[in-house]
Amino acid sequence: MPRNRAVIYEGPGKVEVEEVSYPEFELKDGPGVNPANVGRKLPHAAILKAVATNICGSDQHMVRGRTTAPHGLALGHEITGEVVETGPDVEFIKVGDLVSVPFNISCGRCRNCKEGKTGICENVNPDRPGSAYGYVDMGGWVGGQADYVLVPYADWNLLKFPDKDRAMEKILDLAMLSDIFPTGYHGCVSAGVGPGSTVYIAGAGPVGLAAAASANLLGAAVVIVGDLNKERLDQAHSFGCETVNVAAGEPKDQIEQILGVPEVDCAVDAVGFEARGHGRESEEEHPATVLNTLMGVTRAGGALGIPGLYVTGDPGAREEAARHGSLSIQLGLGWAKSLSFVTGQCPVMRYNRQLMTAILYDRVQIAKAVNATPIPLDDAPRGYHEFDEGAARKYVLDPHGMLASAS
């Protein structure tokens, strides 16, 4: 069998690239695998050779030690690959297909999947609805920051690119379809972004930048991105966004300077639970800051898209309540303004085919917007470190040198 290596979480602040077993059509015991999933037969699965596998901010939460992720967990849920083997129950996906893998693992059979709610599939995680590759409390499906990875329910989950050669010409853009592009787009759709909208996006990391590009694609008139990191704000400005440095003070004052009013039509939280305060409190964590700010700057009757990650367990939180996912949210403000909220995993399959077409027909350059940067798999520890230091880049692991060849 081919050699297989994977990026392994070895404790707070530490990841290593290590030899791991080649995938089999059965879920084996291992770090994070739910006991009820051990021994699960997977004749409906496919094994992929990873073409691109991205480092995500959600991975970074685990690597910082801000979740209950076990040591030894193979990371990675943003996967693009080439099919090298299929199980006996796979009918339509073929060896050689180039595919995008939604980070949500879903069965296609349960009530939620049939309703298009693939982020909360009922059949893949024995603990609760919803699952993902290489992620804490998500059932224990092995992560895809690796040479090879197994994908269950392949006919259902995999998005096949219609023309392999044409796809390889845009492979860095297409690699964003597994998570951050649909996630950013979902945040904007959930917030009601449309032609002529004014939009505030909290966070200029990759998901925030993807949301900003999505807002432009949806026809927003003004897209304002807020962050503490000047380099990331400059990246947002590079494709036409207005920017707000929240270290300088409250976003509403800077929004008013841009728009003439202190409110926007739509708002997106692309930060999540490791949020910091604003102004003089920008060096301290205040996990409810972004949610409360968005309620304050969104017009009455507006909506908030919340793709930013919030967790039920945060061992690194400053406050006891926050360690259990309880935040001091000004719900009364949101109620008084009749605001709508949409939270949870993005159901990637709701958007990925349309966004693929937008990429292939040059309607959006998402890799450029998020500054996608390929690096070898062996450089994953460096990528994690630089991303944690605030690099304005989306690191894309290139296990087999296929991205380098394509470029």
The tens place of each residue's pLDDT in the chain, 407 residues long, gives 799 999 999 999 999 999 999 999 999 999 999 999 999 999 999 999 999 999 999 999 999 988 889 999 999 999 999 999 999 999 999 999 999 999 999 999 999 999 999 999 999 999 999 999 999 989 999 999 999 999 999 999 999 999 999 999 999 999 999 999 999 999 999 999 999 999 999 999 999 999 999 999 999 999 999 999 999 999 999 999 999 999 998 999 999 999 999 999 999 999 988 887 887 777 777 888 999 999 999 999 999 999 998 888 778 777 888 787 788 889 999 999 999 999 999 999 999 999 999 999 999 999 999 999 999 999 999 999 999 999 999 999 999 999 987 76
> φ and ψ at 264, to 5 degrees?
-120, 170
Residue by residue, DSSP assigns 104-132 as: B---S-SHHHHTT-GGG-SSS-SSSS--B
Neighbours of 132 (CB within 10 A): 25
User: 190 near 305, Cβ under 8 Å?
Assistant: yes
C-beta of residue 347 within 8 angstroms of C-beta of residue 104: yes
pLDDT of residue 285: 77
Closest CA to 32 of 105, 126, 106: 126
Q: Can you read off the two tokens belonging to residue 211?
A: 């949301």
**Contact call for residues 4 and 148 (beta carbons, < 8 A):** yes
The helix/strand/coil state of 75 is coil
Half-sphere exposure at residue 133, Cβ-oriented, CA atoms within 13 angstroms: 30
Kindly state the tokens that stand for 166: 């044409």
Q: What is the pLDDT of residue 30?
A: 93
Q: 283, 247 in Cβ contact below 8 A?
A: no
Residues 6+ apart with CB under 8 A from 364: 173, 213, 216, 217, 355, 358
pLDDT of residue 207: 97
Two structure tokens written together for 344:
């949870």
| H and E: helices and strands count for the chain | 15, 16
Tell the burial category of 91 from Cβ atoms under 10 Å away from its Cβ (0-12, 13-18, 19+).
Answer: exposed
Angle between helical axes of 206-217 and 230-237 (0-180°, round to 10): 20
Number of Cβ atoms within 10 Å of the Cβ of 86: 21
Confidence at residue 407, expressed as pLDDT on a 0 to 100 scale? 64
Structure tokens at 314: 């945060």
67, 313 contact by CB (below 8 A): yes
Whole-number Å distance between alpha carbons of 289 and 165: 46
Q: Which helix (H) or strand (E) holds 254?
A: helix 251-259
Q: Work out the burial of residue 64: count CB atoms within 10 Å of its CB; fewer than 13 is exposed, 13-18 middle, 19 or more buried.
A: middle
All domains in the chain, ordered by first residue: 5-179+347-406 (3.90.180.10), 180-343 (3.40.50.720)
Q: What is the spatial distance between Cα 367 and Cα 239, in angstroms, rounded to a whole number?
A: 12
Does the pTM exceed 0.85? yes
Token pair for residue 393? Answer: 């880049």
Tokens of 386: 């630089």
Determine contact, residues 275/284, Cβ cutoff 8 Å: no
Alpha carbon 157 to its chain's center: 17
The Cα angle at residue 374 between residues 401 and 366, in degrees rounded to 5: 125
Exposed/middle/buried for residue 47 (C-beta within 10 Å: 0-12, 13-18, 19+): buried
As a whole number of Å, the end-to-end CA separation of the chain is: 29
Confidence at residue 317, expressed as pLDDT on a 0 to 100 scale: 75
Longest dimension (CA), the chain: 63
